[in-house]
Structure 1
Amino acid sequence: MARGGKQLNTCDGGNGSDGPSGSQGSNQMSNYLDHDIAQLTKIRSEPHELFIRTVPGKLRLPVSTVKLLAGREGWTRLNSRAYVSQFSADGSLFIAGCQGSQIRIYNVDSGWKVQKDILAKSLMWTITDTSLSPDQRYLVYASMSPVVHIVNIGSAATKSVANITEIHDGLDFSRDDDNDDFSIFSVKFSTDGRELVAGSSDCSIYVYDLEANKLTHRIQAHMSDVNTVCFGDETGHLIYSGSDDTLCKVWDRRCFTSKEQAAGVLMGHIEGITFLDSRGDGRYFISNGKDQTTKLWDIRKMTSKPACRPRCRDDEWDYRWMEYPDEAKNLKHPHDQSLTTYRGHSVLQTLIRCYFSPEYSTGQKYIYTGSSDSSVYIYDLVSGAQVARLNHHEAPVRDCSWHPFYPMIISSSFDGIIAKWEFPGDGEAPRPLKRRKGRRRILS
């Protein structure tokens, strides 16, 4: 999670393209548009009927999904830096977690009523990640510790203070032969809800069996912190991992018991990876990197092992409190396997997250990401162009979440504010965002 920067080895070979990042050449763009993801996105990108509105005196016209997000509709404030903000898969719940031990679960369908107000147990520094079980009955939360905790969010009590008003069961990921001094940075429920998969600061991926209540696998997956893990598709067989060693890896869970080797490796980032998100098709995913880029990947391009590893620069750059060096901004990996690279946002101070836009409302036509410059950036998946920048916060935006069905994005920031962006719904075009002090709508 917190490591100094790296610089490329001057090794020969490789012709990895940086992809269309807004201002790339026309030939490069043409080559990329021939790729099948462009065709798949085009097929799936017709506006859903939910996003057709009637303009007075005119025919029903499709409205750009991005334009629907131009107005900030409301906000709430947590008691400290906001680290996590995520909608449930069906959009009925919203989870917000912060550094100060607080996690709130809002019932979106009931007017954003607080369904669960959780005070976390044994928090070390901050809540690093949360995950909601597939049946939406349980929430797990992780911190800078090998122990994660699980909460029954379906219980009657609204206030859930760890081991005072409710039991928060501790799940210990440490092993007897370990020094136990590691942190869980990323945790996910398996698709059947029976296991947890986690990435940690000891370079490993862990699997915890919830039914047996024990740790079943530890895979020494990377050469540095594993900051992020995610599932490749709804089968749950494929797992993607990203690390401070700059590599993305693909794992097949069906091989965990027989071997502990990655199915493949993807190179392209020249700094550590902060977050991964899958397109859900077992083929494409995106990653945010401390090299200030987001990259799009196709796992069919993966190799069995890295061709050459980046080495650390002489100057000890640290993304947590230093600006990205000017001389590094134009560096490219000589064996870049990514399909395209998106630039404009900044990945500093914290593990900034990125995502594909929803399939239902946008056909996954966009990718979007938080940024340390206090904004949310939205890029066109195919062209790489920046299509929107949402400005309101006054500190880094670590996480953001696009509602799976409604034209709504929630952003969470180190300023403690959870901001909601959506089309006003009054038949008028969204108004430009203006900063105002005092009169603001509160979500709860």
Structure 2
Amino acid sequence: MSRRGSRGKGISECDGKGTSGSGPSQGSNENNDYVDHEITQLTKLRSQPHKHLSRSMPGRFRLPVSTVKMLVGREGNYSGRGRFSSADNCHLLSRYLPLRGPWRVDSMNSHTYVSQFSADGSLFVAGCQGSQIRIYNVDRGWKVQKNILAKSLSWTITDISLSPDHRFLVYASMCPVVHIVNVGSTVTESYANITEIHDGLDFSVDGNEDNCCIFSVKFSIDGRELVAGTSDQSIYVYDLEANKCSLQIPAHESDVNAVCFADETGHLIYSGSDDALCKVWDRRCFITKGQAAGVLMGHLEGITFIDSRGDGRYFISNGKDQTLKLWDIRKMSSNVTCPRLRNYDWDYRWMEYPSHARMLKHPLDQSLVTYKGHSVLRTLIRCYFSPPYSTGQKYIYTGSSDGSIYIYDVVSGAQVAKLDYHDAPVRDCSWHPFYPTIVSSSWDGVIARWEFPGDNEPPAPLKRKTRLRRNRYEDSYF
């Protein structure tokens, strides 16, 4: 089911009015009618205030309840609880999107590929093509806590992942070995096997290292395992306690660009591939090797990233067909029933997406909502749900090859903000788990911070840099 909506504008207080400093957005979605699905109710439960604080006519669009009205309701104990609930908090906080700025955090000497906040928001990690990974201490004014020079880097750092307790960091590149670094050590300048040991975790099975490049790696919620997606069309699970690869799944018919655990149990794994399919894997009930629990069809081109809502039911995916989709795994099929529909020659690394292809739709699209406006070109652009604590996962946000960050409403599909600053693709971005702060990392090498309300400093102007470019085939693939 596809949802189309009118052209959105960025807003600092999300009440359907006003624009951000970057001006009107250039993208549009397909329908602003609310999706009629269980996720609508779940989102409301997480981000809608108590009924006594929000009265509206049945069937009418409900505008956000004012902060003053909610404070009066709390003081009058209208809810009977004498305090704000988590949904009340989310309703207040989610209105104030992190649109002020940006303020520059740092500037790398090469393309910045990956970045993320730690689970508690105290650390921020960014990795770039030039073998460098930096860990910033957010609570100490974004001071660099650890500077890591990656070991045995092949082409670029393709992914990084912090352990849930933020004690360890793993990084991957275009090889079958993932390296692990002790974040908590006292070593500030961490040069692999010179000032600090970067242990290698070999994901190859039976010494088969041919064409095995790791595109995606993630810690499990309990921190005991890693899951990886590779160029040999497989998913690997690495047992950190046993120090060995415990599972290999021949999962897709092309590169596996994205993998993640579905929830805290670690039983379910989501994967996305260049074969344009999303798959669900249940480790408890493998019937035969390589048999997925289900397949989800809808993208017309390869999958670049997957993010789980964390409930073992919903996830989102970015696709090279220039769409972002929301999925419910209860709608999955047992097998693929429709071939790929491409009838044109196109390579996302250096070509614009064909205009006629934007009109195509998968005849068996199983997604709940399709979000459009951003662009997924030249590299594997990433997307995420907004944080549960401050927004109730009310939004979806994504980088874009046009140098912007796009924020969409999960339920309506409307584009609620577009953050403009970079002059190169924003491959990754990360929303602070508790504060209204988004950090973008771009191929222009700049790491930028967006906040609400932000400090009084004016945004730093972006210095245009002359980048040494290889040939077009080498410059942008991953």
Q: Normalization by structure 2: what TM-score?
A: 0.80
Q: Quote the residue 1:110 is aligned against.
A: 140
Query: Residue 33 of structure 1: which of 21, 29, 35 is its match?
Result: 35
**2:42 is matched by which residue type in structure 1?**
L
1:38–1:382 Cα contact (<8 Å) kept: yes
Matched residues in 1 for 2:463 and 2:258: separation?
A: 37
Deviation at 1:62, TM superposition (A): 4.6
Q: Quote the residue 2:10 is aligned against.
A: none
Structure 1 pair 21–125 and aligned structure 2 pair: CA distance change class (3 A): farther
1:22–1:384 Cα contact (<8 Å) kept: no
Matched residues in 2 for 1:186 and 1:400: separation?
A: 16
Structure 1 position 255 matched with structure 2 position 285: yes
Structure 1 position 133 matched with structure 2 position 135: no
Q: Quote the residue 1:304 is aligned against.
A: 334
Structure 1 pair 338–238 and aligned structure 2 pair: CA distance change class (3 A): same
Structure 1 position 78 matched with structure 2 position 80: no
Structure 1 position 349 matched with structure 2 position 378: yes
Structure 1 pair 177–257 and aligned structure 2 pair: CA distance change class (3 A): farther
Deviation at 1:312, TM superposition (A): 4.6
Matched residues in 2 for 1:358 and 1:257: separation?
A: 35
Deviation at 1:101, TM superposition (A): 0.3
**1:421 is matched by which residue type in structure 2?**
W
Structure 1 pair 312–182 and aligned structure 2 pair: CA distance change class (3 A): farther
**Bigger relative contact order (CA 8 A; separation at least 6):** 1
Query: Residue 183 of structure 2: which of 149, 153, 158 is its match?
Result: 153
Q: Quote the residue 1:411 is aligned against.
A: 440
Matched residues in 1 for 2:30 and 2:375: separation?
A: 27
Matched residues in 2 for 1:200 and 1:146: separation?
A: 8
Query: Residue 178 of structure 1: which of 196, 208, 213 is its match?
Result: 208
Deviations 1:58-86 (A, max 9, x none): 99995763544233233310121100110
**1:202 is matched by which residue type in structure 2?**
D
Q: Quote the residue 1:6 is aligned against.
A: none
Q: Normalization by structure 1: what TM-score?
A: 0.86
Query: Residue 315 of structure 2: which of 285, 309, 315 is its match?
Result: 285
Deviations 1:358-405 (A, max 9, x none): 111111111000000000000111111111000010100000000010
Matched residues in 2 for 1:22 and 1:39: separation?
A: 23
Q: Quote the residue 1:232 is aligned against.
A: 262
Deviations 1:115-143 (A, max 9, x none): 21100001011100011112211111000
1:65–1:407 Cα contact (<8 Å) kept: no
**1:318 is matched by which residue type in structure 2?**
D
Deviation at 1:283, TM superposition (A): 0.8
Structure 1 position 360 matched with structure 2 position 389: yes
Cα RMSD after superposing both structures:
2.9
1:85–1:401 Cα contact (<8 Å) kept: yes
Structure 1 stretches of 4+ with a deviation exceeding 4 A read 26-30, 58-64, 256-259, 433-438
Q: Quote the residue 2:81 is aligned against.
A: none
Deviations 1:128-187 (A, max 9, x none): 001111221111100011111011111111110001000111111123363522200001
1:21–1:342 Cα contact (<8 Å) kept: no
Q: Give the match's secondary structure for 2:284.
A: helix
Structure 1 position 313 matched with structure 2 position 343: yes
Q: Quote the residue 2:4 is aligned against.
A: 20
Q: Quote the residue 2:149 is aligned against.
A: 119
2:352–2:377 Cα contact (<8 Å) kept: yes
Query: Residue 217 of structure 1: which of 241, 247, 258 is its match?
Result: 247
Deviation at 1:434, TM superposition (A): 8.4
2:119–2:165 Cα contact (<8 Å) kept: no
In structure 2, stretches of 5+ residues that fail to align are 8-28, 51-65, 75-90, 465-478
Answer 1 or 2: which has greater strand percent.
Answer: 1
**1:204 is matched by which residue type in structure 2?**
S
Deviation at 1:216, TM superposition (A): 1.9
**1:277 is matched by which residue type in structure 2?**
D
2:394–2:409 Cα contact (<8 Å) kept: yes
1:18–1:332 Cα contact (<8 Å) kept: no
1:353–1:398 Cα contact (<8 Å) kept: yes
Matched residues in 2 for 1:21 and 1:83: separation?
A: 31
In structure 1, stretches of 5+ residues that fail to align are 1-16, 439-444
Matched residues in 1 for 2:213 and 2:179: separation?
A: 13
Structure 1 pair 252–271 and aligned structure 2 pair: CA distance change class (3 A): same
Query: Residue 42 of structure 1: which of 41, 44, 53 is its match?
Result: 44
Identity fraction in percent: 72
Query: Residue 410 of structure 2: which of 362, 381, 387 is its match?
Result: 381
**1:309 is matched by which residue type in structure 2?**
P
Deviation at 1:260, TM superposition (A): 3.4
Q: Give the match's secondary structure for 2:130.
A: coil
Deviation at 1:29, TM superposition (A): 5.5
Structure 1 position 397 matched with structure 2 position 436: no
